[in-house]
């Protein structure tokens, strides 16, 4: 068998059909007609003994070709409409997006917005930055296209971390709280702090449905038992790492005796990422309980309840 560079096109197709299977390979080559597919299948027995390296090279060639076409298509879309992600974003979200950004980046984003929205956002900026941004907006035509595309890409990635206005309008504070739960702890708090300053009413609505691991200690023993008993002991130990002894004792006492006997605390330093991942599982369980209409537990009702010890 010839090496990969000398393989004919039909040999490469036969290798792909053999390795990937006729069904999947057929979907990847929709332009092949029935006669061509038959010819490829007839070629498969003859390439069965092709060296592993030759088959590997064919697969790599196909993969890189496929990914190059995919990247080119995505690149074309992002280049033709680099600021399409701004559609549907509210004044509050846009203001959050440009916070702490360089003046030049702010001016490029502002130039993509309707005049009325430009004015609203400019009023939210400190006087000095506002003046610089307005001057820079007048010089946008002098900014290289590549620089504009890079700014658009940075803002687009940053915008993925915050809930969109459309999602808030459809689902209210509960939907936004659910989206916040997908963010890391630090970003959640930053967004809530910002929202409290910019739109207190909206922030209050979100907080009614927002639940963090810090709220776990306020839950009654029955709920703590249900939540932590649903986790693996390793996740329980990670989630409790660094917590107050009172909470640790309450959690352990709520577990079945067998689990209590098997429990081993995490000794020594543990990465924050691991701890927060385990704590996130606790929060996700609480959110699932809140979303279940057959469950009596409600984050909003619990947050507003008046308890007597």
Half-sphere exposure of 184 (CA within 13 A, CB side): 7
Tell me what pLDDT residue 1 has.
45
Domain ranges of the chain: 4-80, 84-159, 165-207, 213-302
Tell me what pLDDT residue 176 has.
64
Tell me what pLDDT residue 7 has.
62
Half-sphere exposure of 40 (CA within 13 A, CB side): 21
Torsion angle, alpha carbons of 69, 72, 73, 79, to 10? 180
Q: Can you tell me the distance from the alpha carbon of 95 to that of 262, in angstroms, rounded to the nearest whole number? A: 50
pLDDT at residue 67 greater than cutoff 60:
no
- In this prediction the pTM is 0.42
DSSP H or E run through 204: helix 200-207
pLDDT digits (tens, 9 = 90+) for 237-269: 999 999 999 999 999 998 898 888 999 999 888
Please name the fold of domain 84-159.
Answer: Annexin V; domain 1 (1.10.220)
pLDDT at residue 29 greater than cutoff 50:
yes
For 94, other C-beta atoms within 10 Å of its C-beta total 21
Tell me what pLDDT residue 117 has.
86
Count of residues in the chain: 309
Residue 121 · residue 110 · CB < 8 Å? yes
Same fold, 84-159 and 213-302: yes
CATH of domain 213-302: 1.10.220.30
Q: What share of the chain is helix, strand, coil (3-state, %, to 5)?
A: 70, 0, 30
> Which of 86-90, 150-154, 217-221, 254-258 is predicted with the least confidence, judged by mean pLDDT?
86-90
**Residue 229 has which token pair?**
């008993």
Tell me what pLDDT residue 202 has.
72
CATH of domain 165-207: 1.20.5
pLDDT digits (tens, 9 = 90+) for 273-292: 899 889 888 888 887 777 77
Burial of 47 (0-12, 13-18, 19+ CB in 10 A): buried
Confidence of residue 167 (pLDDT cuts 50, 70, 90): very low
């Amino acid at each position: 068998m010839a090496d990969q560079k000398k393989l004919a096109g039909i040999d490469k197709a036969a290798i792909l059909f053999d390795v990937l299977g006729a069904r999947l390979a057929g979907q990847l080559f929709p332009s092949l007609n029935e006669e061509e597919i038959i010819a490829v299948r007839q070629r498969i027995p003859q390439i069965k003994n092709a060296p592993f390296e030759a088959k590997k090279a064919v697969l790599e060639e196909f993969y890189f070709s496929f990914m190059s076409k995919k990247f080119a298509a995505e690149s074309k879309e992002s280049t033709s409409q680099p600021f399409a992600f701004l559609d549907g974003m509210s004044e509050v979200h846009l203001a959050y997006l440009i916070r702490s950004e360089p003046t030049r980046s702010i001016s490029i984003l502002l130039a993509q917005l309707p005049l009325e929205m430009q004015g609203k956002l400019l009023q939210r900026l400190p006087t000095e930055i506002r003046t610089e941004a307005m001057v820079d907006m007048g010089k946008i035509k002098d900014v290289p296209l590549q620089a504009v595309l890079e700014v658009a890409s940075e803002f687009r990635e940053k915008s993925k971390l915050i809930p969109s206005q459309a999602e808030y309008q459809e689902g209210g504070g509960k939907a936004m709280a659910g989206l916040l739960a997908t963010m890391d702890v630090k970003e959640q708090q930053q967004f809530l702090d910002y929202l409290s300053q910019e739109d207190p009413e909206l922030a209050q609505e979100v907080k009614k449905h927002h639940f963090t691991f810090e709220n776990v200690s306020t839950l009654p023993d029955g709920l703590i038992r249900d939540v932590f008993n649903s986790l693996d002991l390793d996740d329980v130990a990670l989630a409790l790492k660094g917590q107050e002894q009172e909470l640790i004792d309450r959690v352990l006492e709520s577990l079945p005796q067998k689990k209590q006997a098997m429990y081993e605390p995490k000794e020594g330093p543990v990465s924050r990422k691991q701890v927060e991942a385990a704590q996130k599982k606790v929060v996700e369980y609480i959110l699932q309980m809140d979303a279940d209409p057959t469950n009596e537990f409600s984050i909003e009702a619990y947050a507003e309840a008046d308890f007597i010890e």
